[in-house]
Structure 1
Amino acid sequence: MFKGQDDNPKLKTVMDELGITPEYNPEAITSDTIVIHNPSFLKFNESLHTRFICNRLIAVAHENFLRPNGEESFDVSKCLSLISQNTLARQFFLAPVSGYNRGTVERWSKTSDVNWKIADFDWFNICDFEMCEPTSNPTDRRGRHSRAGFEKFPNNETMLLLFPQAADYCGMLGADSLIADSKHPKHWDLYKFQEVSVSSFLEKIDFFVYYTHPNLQESFGRVIAEAIAAGKVVITDSLTAQTFGSAVIASPPEDVDAIIHRFIGDPQAYQDHVRNAQAALERFSAEQFISTIENALNKPIEVEIDFM
């Protein structure tokens, strides 16, 4: 799935500091607890050559198991079966990354005969960003960023509603698919994915307006946390907003203009909202993550061997 890509530079730095040497495609891995991230990485595989021996195996479900229309996002049963067939463990867990992600895992599990337990905690994204002060003079500068891909964007009609010509500025980072379409509106300031840094891009806007294709739903929404930390008011759809609660403004696209104009007319409300939103990100801190995972791993392991 990630063939040809280098190791994550931040992860590589940490492993170097800890003296950890990565081992690629080992024949076997043995540990008390083994964590496998995003089982969908096996969706193009027909076999798995590594064997796992552990008391507890946790598969972190970064990708939603179901799309908003109810279809599977990938062949979940195949991916989980490849793992379980190569594993000797007492317990098999699926760990969602958010409330919405958990809902897709639970709905999928009700129609599946794959016998994995769903963890009672979320393996959420750590959002330890430097917090920036919100502007005291918000203007109608709106934008968004994401990975490239048409599925990250709603239809053209909705995009024009969210990023109208009347706005002072409309910018998008990760807009490769829009750039490829020469018919995109000229008032859109478009950048390819990673063409500029996220921090420098976010300096151009006061409102982060984030909506996706109707058949794609973010499992967590890390870009939203980045925008909050950068001191921006975030406006998004109600499902994406579930992860962040009152830290974001949940709204249908047709109400976005009114929301932005209301904050522009009340700069203090803008600042208050951003500061409250930044405080709410504390529940995704590294300290909270460590506490959550430690509590989960310290629970006694049931003596239950399932070869599935």
Structure 2
Amino acid sequence: MRVVDVLDISDFRFAGGTAASIAEEIAAQAGAGWTTGLIHLNGPLVARVTGFNPRITEQLADGSARLLIGHDPVRAAITLIRHPTVLDQASDQLPPITTEQVVVIVNSTMIAPDGAREFDPARINRLVRQRFGLDPLWAPLSSRIRGQLLAAGGDLRLIADDWVNVIDARSWHVEHDAPAGDRPVIGRHSRDVAAKWPRERAELLAAYPEDGSVEVRVLGGARSARAVLGSQLPDSWRVWEFGTREPREFLQGIDTYVYYTDPRWIEAFGRNVLEAMAAGVPVVLPPVFETIFADAALYAEPAGIQEVVRSLHRDTNLWLRISEHARATARRRFSRQVHVDRIQALSGLEARTPQAGGEQSGHSASRLRGTPATRAADERPKLLLVSSNGTGMGHLMRLMAYARRATHFQPHVVSLSQGVAAVGRLGMSYEYVPSAAGLGMDPSSWQPIFTDRIGAVLRRVRPAVVVFDGTWPYNGIEELRSTHPDPLWVWSRRGMWQPGRSRDQLKKAAWFDAVIEPGDFASAGDIGATASAPAVRIPPVTLLDEDELLTRHAARRELGLPTGGRIALVAFSGGAVEDVTSDTAAAIAACRRVGLEICVTQSVVAPDVALPDDVHVINPIPLATYQRAFDVAISAAGYNSFHELLRFGTPTLFIPKRNSALDDQGRRARWAADQGWSLCAPRVSESGTVPMLAELLEHGDEMIAKVTAMDPGNGAVDAARLLTDLHRGRT
């Protein structure tokens, strides 16, 4: 029996306000000393294949919450189901749960702008009774959602007070002076969907003028606004895409927050509005928001918006009064303590001393905690992913990239890599099988151990498809294939082998039903054994997509790095100790000479290297999440680092690893340099590296633009589609 104080059931892939609200409540629960368990259900509102929201992932890593996977029973004092649609679509995936109270939190509109219902409350009631043996309490975020629930009828037990979003107002505080420019600067931050903008051209321009009388700043994209305007966006508008700037940083640069949407859209609460208030930015809203924010905001119909904006701009005292009142309201009515109080009232839990990890921040995202292997509760066919033990984590990361997108399957990972705990961070089950080197054994003595362990996994998991990622299929695979003929077997085999090496290994393709070759940006320069070998070739594979990376400000904050100035990433791992030490020392010296702060990685699979006290040391997995923190990089040219750094826009000096057994890092790095995408050198020297860093700082954006122009997209999607098609073809 797994026991927690609070059990949160939701789709933890949600972006924007929903994820932020879940994360704030988890933080509040941890601050009260309560344990939190998370059960993830894939809901219908997140159509895109993606991983957990980074904020939730961080909290799993630092111990604020615990991911509960599998069918073992769970007991909780109170269970929170955030958004009824997740239960509507996947309640059969829940393990047995014993709980004193179930609360269904309705944090978005029940009625879509076209009039369609997102869910049926009566059906959700029935599902809760079936799964928990209790009648749930319904918790609308606002009076607007409460009205929808009441209008729906049925036997719904509504909580007395709305389940308002909460916020840590201190973390949103910014130093903000009253408007001083010649014209007001107004802004808004939201996802770029049509419902989040006024639907009529006149109303949109009343809120966000085109005549230059105000400067309009938009965070979140404005394609929907352009569709309404029927032309290019006005010159007086500045637009940033969703996730490209930290909201707190954005709010510091505006005078007034103006938020107007399609009048048919019922905004459940408006977390973006609360964030603006916590930052001390006066807010102008449609009158329908008054039941939520009362006198903490200003209200106007479209025709009167600009008069309110102008009055704030010309009256400094008024601006300051509204700003401070907004901050005070955020602290008083929407603090984390509000959430602690309501949990206490509903469950009887008493706040106690916070447990270890409950309030950690800063480097917390870099401390990885895995999830033990366990049998999942759903009925999808099983996908077994087996990775070899390379000197880095490329094999493992590729398999995770496939698994995240192969939603047709239930994945389980078996790895010889000591970094396998990274799998648990993405909510997948895993187990570790030590390699021959890890056990200090010769390969012939170790082989029976490998065959026995993988055979036991095959009998227990009973996969429909097995994917092995490595350049050297172990002999035990042939034996396992003969004793376990039911699964389809797939070899994921990276290219760019050193010329003249390991050609005999390609004969082992006969053991597999299919061979996938993850593409390489430098494939045109590949002259190794795989260049002409039969395979299904897909675009280059990365674990993440660009929209999953943190903004520059957020990445630096999470890593504990300075928010200002230029920072270089130095990333050498998996090489000989003397090489890594020499290259790192020279890179540090060169970075100092061009005025860069230095951040060095220490991979879980790399040797420790002594570093100066003023060098920042990080170990986040996956590193790409934080890549926007860095202005330039000096890196080895392994498959993962090469493709992540180029695909996600970091100007890079590649230093090929000198002792690579098979991976042709030198040819990969030289090919990219020949295209003008990056720079490369055989080794790092202080005198030789300084001018290269200067060139990257001056021309790096031009180099990266060339990569963006030819990037065919993430091949992980193609691999997932191939695996699904193979299985469906078999069945």
**TM-score when normalising by structure 1:** 0.84
Match for 1:254 among 303, 306, 309? 303
Q: Are residue 185 (structure 1) and residue 233 (structure 2) matched? A: yes
Indicate conservation of the 8 Å contact 2:248/2:279, yes or no. yes
Partner residue, 2:191: 147
Match for 1:7 among 49, 52, 60? 52
Partner residue, 1:194: 243
Runs of 5+ consecutive residues of structure 2 not aligned to the other structure = 1-43, 350-731
Indicate conservation of the 8 Å contact 1:61/1:101, yes or no. yes
Indicate conservation of the 8 Å contact 2:175/2:252, yes or no. no
Superposed, which structure 2 residues align to 1:126-275 within 5 Å? 126-129=166-169, 130-138=172-180, 139-155=183-199, 156-164=201-209, 165-178=211-224, 181=227, 183-187=231-235, 188-275=237-324
Which structure shows the bigger proportion of residues in helix conformation? Answer: 2
Partner residue, 1:302: none
Spell out, residue by residue over 1:135-180, the C-alpha distance to the aligned partner (whole angstroms, 9 max, x if none). 2235411111101211100122211111112323111111243377
Indicate conservation of the 8 Å contact 1:42/1:79, yes or no. no
Indicate conservation of the 8 Å contact 1:61/1:96, yes or no. yes
| Closer/same/farther in 2, CA of residues 180 and 267 from structure 1, 3 Å limit | closer
Structure 2 counterpart of 1:276, one-letter code:
H
Whole-Å Cα distance in 1 between the matches of residues 238 and 222 of structure 2?
Answer: 12
Indicate the RMSD between aligned Cα atoms, in angstroms: 2.7
Whole-Å Cα distance in 1 between the matches of residues 290 and 72 of structure 2?
Answer: 42
Whole-Å Cα distance in 1 between the matches of residues 268 and 218 of structure 2?
Answer: 21
| Closer/same/farther in 2, CA of residues 19 and 196 from structure 1, 3 Å limit | closer
Partner residue, 1:286: 336
Q: Are residue 54 (structure 1) and residue 99 (structure 2) matched? A: yes
Structure 2 counterpart of 1:175, one-letter code:
G
Indicate conservation of the 8 Å contact 2:258/2:283, yes or no. yes
| Closer/same/farther in 2, CA of residues 49 and 118 from structure 1, 3 Å limit | same
Task: Report the number of matched residues.
Answer: 293
Indicate conservation of the 8 Å contact 1:38/1:59, yes or no. yes
**TM-score when normalising by structure 2:** 0.37
Whole-Å Cα distance in 1 between the matches of residues 271 and 127 of structure 2?
Answer: 27
Aligned-pair CA distance for 1:202: 2.0
Aligned-pair CA distance for 1:184: 3.2
Partner residue, 1:306: none
Aligned-pair CA distance for 1:296: 2.3
Whole-Å Cα distance in 2 between the matches of residues 179 and 215 of structure 1?
Answer: 16
Whole-Å Cα distance in 2 between the matches of residues 24 and 177 of structure 1?
Answer: 39
Whole-Å Cα distance in 1 between the matches of residues 339 and 191 of structure 2?
Answer: 25
| Closer/same/farther in 2, CA of residues 90 and 75 from structure 1, 3 Å limit | closer
Structure 2 counterpart of 1:8, one-letter code:
N
Match for 1:75 among 113, 119, 123? 119
Whole-Å Cα distance in 1 between the matches of residues 225 and 261 of structure 2?
Answer: 17
Spell out, residue by residue over 1:217-249, the C-alpha distance to the aligned partner (whole angstroms, 9 max, x if none). 211111001111222111011112321111111
Whole-Å Cα distance in 1 between the matches of residues 226 and 326 of structure 2?
Answer: 35
Whole-Å Cα distance in 1 between the matches of residues 69 and 255 of structure 2?
Answer: 43
Structure 2 counterpart of 1:125, one-letter code:
N
Aligned-pair CA distance for 1:27: 6.7
Superposed, which structure 2 residues align to 1:76-155 within 5 Å? 76-77=120-121, 80-81=124-125, 83-84=127-128, 86-108=130-152, 110=153, 112=154, 115-129=155-169, 130-138=172-180, 139-155=183-199
More relative contact order, 1 or 2 (CA 8 Å, 6+ apart): 1
Spell out, residue by residue over 1:81-104, the C-alpha distance to the aligned partner (whole angstroms, 9 max, x if none). 563253233331111122222222
| Closer/same/farther in 2, CA of residues 5 and 29 from structure 1, 3 Å limit | farther
When Rg is computed on C-alpha atoms for both structures, the one with the higher figure is 2
Q: Return 271-280 or 6-15, whichever deviates more.
A: 6-15
Partner residue, 2:391: none
Whole-Å Cα distance in 2 between the matches of residues 62 and 81 of structure 1?
Answer: 17
Whole-Å Cα distance in 2 between the matches of residues 173 and 19 of structure 1?
Answer: 29
Aligned-pair CA distance for 1:72: 4.9
Indicate conservation of the 8 Å contact 1:202/1:230, yes or no. yes
SS at match of 2:67: coil
Moved over 3 A (4+): 24-30, 66-69, 178-182
**What's the % identity of the aligned pairs?**
20
Indicate conservation of the 8 Å contact 2:192/2:224, yes or no. no
Aligned-pair CA distance for 1:25: 5.9
Spell out, residue by residue over 1:30-83, the C-alpha distance to the aligned partner (whole angstroms, 9 max, x if none). 43322111112356x3763325443321111112224578x4541324751563
Whole-Å Cα distance in 2 between the matches of residues 279 and 19 of structure 1?
Answer: 27
Indicate conservation of the 8 Å contact 2:79/2:101, yes or no. yes
Partner residue, 2:38: none
